[in-house]
């Protein structure tokens, strides 16, 4: 598929799953209280706080505004709830962390060279991840290998649909302006690869260090990295 476009998952594909769980989530948990206390008056943070408070219980609603936001997000993070308000606020907190240099986005060592090679071969690259578009852009802009965003021509998140739903892949191909048959989706999750194939894309599974094991005998090609793609 030398002329095909590449649509890439992040966690378990370009980036260690542990980066999200060992770096990003703990950073958000640690930084949200001081961040909302310091920035509650800005419209961007204020709007994210309004969104978070839509998920507040009656008891939480009785707290002062900043305390309520801290309490709701702490509860949601402990339960790994993917709420829109929490995701929006986490994105703003991560931006603060990346821009201050406290966080650098993890990418596997072959990723920068692969991006450069694909770009050199005029193979467009886009990202499809459950992390928000802002979180995706931050990770690649402030990566351990420098700014990789010049290589990326599209960012898609679950506002394009669920990753295990074939319709999402058609929505993304249409938005990106690429026929499904010209796109190879790379992921670590079999059900996502199957959904992409159902939509008419090619799919490849990545078996990165730290990924959970994949069953044997899969009908999808499995690669250890991007070097042969």
Subset of residues 175 to 194 that bind Mg ion, contact rule: CB under 5 A? 188
Part of the chain binding Mg ion (CB under 5 A), chosen from 1-9, 68-76, 92-100, 103-111: 1-9
Subset of residues 28 to 67 that bind Mg ion, contact rule: CB under 5 A? none
Judged on CB neighbours under 10 Å (0-12, 13-18, 19+), 160 is buried
State which of residues 9, 73, 173, 193 lies at the interface with Mg ion (CB under 5 A).
Answer: 9
Tell me if 157 contacts Mg ion by CB under 5 A: no
Part of the chain binding Mg ion (CB under 5 A), chosen from 7-15, 155-163, 167-175, 176-184: 7-15
Instruction: Name residues whose C-beta falls within 8 Å of residue 133's C-beta, 6 or more positions apart in sequence.
Output: 155, 156, 157, 159
> How many residues contact Mg ion, by CB under 5 A?
4
State which of residues 11, 85, 137, 195 lies at the interface with Mg ion (CB under 5 A).
Answer: 11
Residue 47 C-beta: closest distance to Mg ion, Å:
29
Structure tokens at 69: 């936001």
Residue 45 C-beta: closest distance to Mg ion, Å:
29
Nearest to 175 by CA among 192, 198, 155: 155
Residue 100 C-beta: closest distance to Mg ion, Å:
27
Q: In what order do the strands lie in the sheet with 183-187?
A: 152-156, 125-128, 5-8, 183-187, 202-206, 221-223
Q: Which residue is nearest to Mg ion (CB)?
A: 12
Residues near Mg ion (CB under 5 A) are: 9, 11-12, 188
């Amino acid at each position: 598929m030398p002329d095909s476009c590449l649509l890439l998952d992040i966690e378990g594909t370009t980036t260690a799953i542990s980066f999200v769980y060992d770096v990003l989530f703990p950073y958000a948990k640690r930084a949200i209280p001081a961040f909302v206390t310091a920035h509650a008056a800005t419209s961007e943070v204020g709007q994210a706080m309004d969104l978070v408070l839509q998920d507040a219980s009656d008891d939480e609603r009785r707290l002062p505004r900043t305390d309520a936001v801290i309490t709701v997000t702490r509860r949601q993070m402990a339960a790994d709830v993917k709420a829109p308000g929490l995701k929006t606020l986490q994105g703003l907190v991560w931006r603060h962390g990346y821009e201050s240099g406290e966080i650098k986005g993890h990418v596997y060592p072959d990723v920068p060279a692969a991006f450069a090679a694909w770009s050199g071969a005029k193979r467009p690259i886009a990202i499809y991840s459950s992390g928000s578009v802002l979180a995706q852009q931050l990770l690649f802009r402030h990566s351990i290998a420098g700014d990789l965003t010049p290589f990326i021509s599209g960012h898609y998140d679950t506002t394009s649909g669920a990753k295990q739903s074939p319709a999402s892949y058609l929505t993304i191909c249409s938005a990106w302006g690429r026929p499904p048959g010209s796109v190879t989706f790379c992921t670590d999750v079999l059900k996502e690869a199957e959904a992409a194939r159902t939509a008419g894309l090619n799919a490849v599974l990545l078996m990165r260090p730290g990924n959970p094991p994949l069953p044997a005998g899969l009908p999808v090609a499995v690669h250890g990295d991007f070097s042969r793609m």
